[in-house]
């Protein structure tokens, strides 16, 4: 029987000047050590949302996620543990001591590194220290599940989300809100509009319909579609999002990456096979230059 996989998530919580940030360590009375905030996923919980929840529970801070800091795997009593980490900027903090965490300590990176007890946490802190720029997100979303295309009798553009797609759209709404998305657009297709409806309801943001990004139209004039999405990417500090169809995402994302001064994502971040309801996140710095990409399940 294969060992049990224990899933967890956390982050490097930081504040202040990104050129010389302070990071938060939590003191765990059970182990009498200092570590990064992290914890196990709840049943069915999205890993990034779990990371933000654990940070809030252990430090009292709401945080805006930035670039991914990778994963670590190590053995625990229950089996093999995987912990996924993100850089997270503290927005508001109100710490209350608990049995799990009785103290939060904010410190510059060198001091924090000397106090961290778990060796694996130090690896994550080193990854953060290699690039501490503040980032915001440009999120490309493939629409959520919309049933069987072959069984739909109406126009394809009118095909709605199915129940699984509606549930996935709720998670997407949580993620886009966490990324502080303020401007959003979508292809002129019902399932794309419906995928962003929970986000619009949560945030109060308007979702603009961008016909130039719709499959068929985009292929005739890709430049117009790219320009429409870039128009959403205004100045800092807020993020932007767009939802569209599979046929458009590879070419659109590749050109956006080039325009933002980066390279086209490959390997595990390749947008060519982005699943329904999944996200491709482009992390850009305060000069709107691409810093990193990551692919997230919805």
More confident of the two residues 129 and 235:
129
More confident of the two residues 2 and 223:
223
**Interior CA angle at 68 toward 165 and 191, to 5°?**
20
User: What's the Rg (C-alpha) of the chain?
Assistant: 20
User: DSSP letters of 2-16?
Assistant: PPPEEEEEEEEEEES
Phi, psi of 239 (to 5 degrees): -95, 175
pLDDT of residue 3: 67
More confident of the two residues 143 and 266:
143
Residue 8 reports pLDDT greater than 80:
yes
Q: Both tokens of residue 286?
A: 């305060």
**Dist. CA 200–CA 197, nearest whole Å:** 5
One fold for both 5-129 and 136-296? no
Cβ-contact 240, 140 below 8 angstroms: no
Q: Is the pTM of this model over 0.75?
A: yes
Question: Which residue ranges make up each domain of the chain?
Answer: 5-129, 136-296
pLDDT of residue 158: 97
| Spatial CB neighbours of 225, under 8 Å, sequence gap ≥ 6 | 210, 212, 213, 217, 218, 248, 252
Residue 1 reports pLDDT greater than 60:
no
Q: Collapse the DSSP code of 112 into the 3-class scheme (helix H, G, I; strand E, B; otherwise coil) and give the result.
A: helix
pLDDT digits (tens, 9 = 90+) for 153-177: 899 999 999 999 999 999 999 999 9
Q: Name the least confident of 70-74, 75-79, 121-125.
A: 75-79
Confidence of residue 268 (pLDDT cuts 50, 70, 90): low
Range 5-129: architecture per CATH = Alpha-Beta Complex (3.90)
**Interior CA angle at 118 toward 114 and 119, to 5°?**
75
Q: Average pLDDT over the chain, rounded to whole?
A: 95
Percent of the chain past pLDDT 70, that is, above it, reads 98
More confident of the two residues 271 and 29:
29
Residue range 272-293: average pLDDT? 94
pLDDT of residue 2: 59
**Closest residue by Cα to residue 81 from 119, 53, 41, 113:** 41
Query: How many Cβ atoms from other residues are within 10 Å of residue 221's Cβ?
Result: 11
The CATH homologous superfamily of the domain defined by 136-296:
Phosphoglycerate mutase-like (3.40.50.1240)
pLDDT digits (tens, 9 = 90+) for 67-76: 999 999 988 8
User: DSSP letters of 36-105?
Assistant: --EEEPPTT--HHHHHHHHHHHHH-EEEEEEEEEEEEEEEETTEEEEEEEEEEEEEEE-----SS--EEE
Residue 187 reports pLDDT greater than 90:
yes
């Amino acid at each position: 029987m294969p060992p049990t996989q224990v899933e967890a998530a956390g982050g490097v919580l930081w504040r202040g000047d990104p050129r010389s940030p302070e990071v938060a360590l939590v003191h765990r009375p059970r182990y009498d050590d200092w570590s990064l905030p992290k914890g196990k996923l709840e049943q069915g919980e999205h890993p990034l949302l779990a990371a933000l929840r654990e940070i809030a529970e252990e430090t009292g801070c709401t945080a805006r996620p930035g670039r991914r800091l990778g994963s670590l795997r190590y053995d625990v009593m229950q089996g093999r543990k995987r912990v996924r980490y993100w850089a997270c900027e503290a927005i508001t903090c109100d710490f209350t001591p608990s049995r799990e965490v009785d103290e939060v300590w904010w410190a510059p990176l060198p001091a924090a590194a000397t106090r961290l007890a778990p060796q694996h946490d130090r690896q994550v802190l080193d990854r953060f220290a290699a690039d501490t720029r503040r980032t915001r997100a440009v999120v490309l979303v493939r629409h959520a599940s919309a049933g069987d295309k072959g069984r739909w009798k109406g126009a394809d553009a009118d095909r709605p989300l199915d129940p699984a797609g509606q549930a996935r759209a709720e998670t997407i709404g949580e993620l886009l809100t966490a990324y502080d998305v303020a401007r959003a657009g979508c292809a002129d297709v019902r399932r794309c509009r419906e995928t962003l409806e929970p986000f619009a309801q949560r945030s109060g943001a308007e979702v603009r319909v961008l016909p130039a990004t719709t499959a068929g139209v985009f292929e005739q004039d890709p430049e117009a579609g790219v320009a429409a999405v870039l128009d959403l990417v205004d100045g800092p500090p807020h993020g932007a999002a767009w939802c569209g169809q599979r046929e458009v995402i590879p070419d659109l994302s590749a050109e956006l990456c080039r325009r933002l001064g980066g390279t086209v994502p490959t390997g595990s971040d390749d947008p060519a096979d982005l699943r329904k309801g999944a996200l491709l996140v482009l992390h850009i710095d305060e000069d709107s230059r691409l810093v990193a990409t990551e692919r997230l399940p919805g």
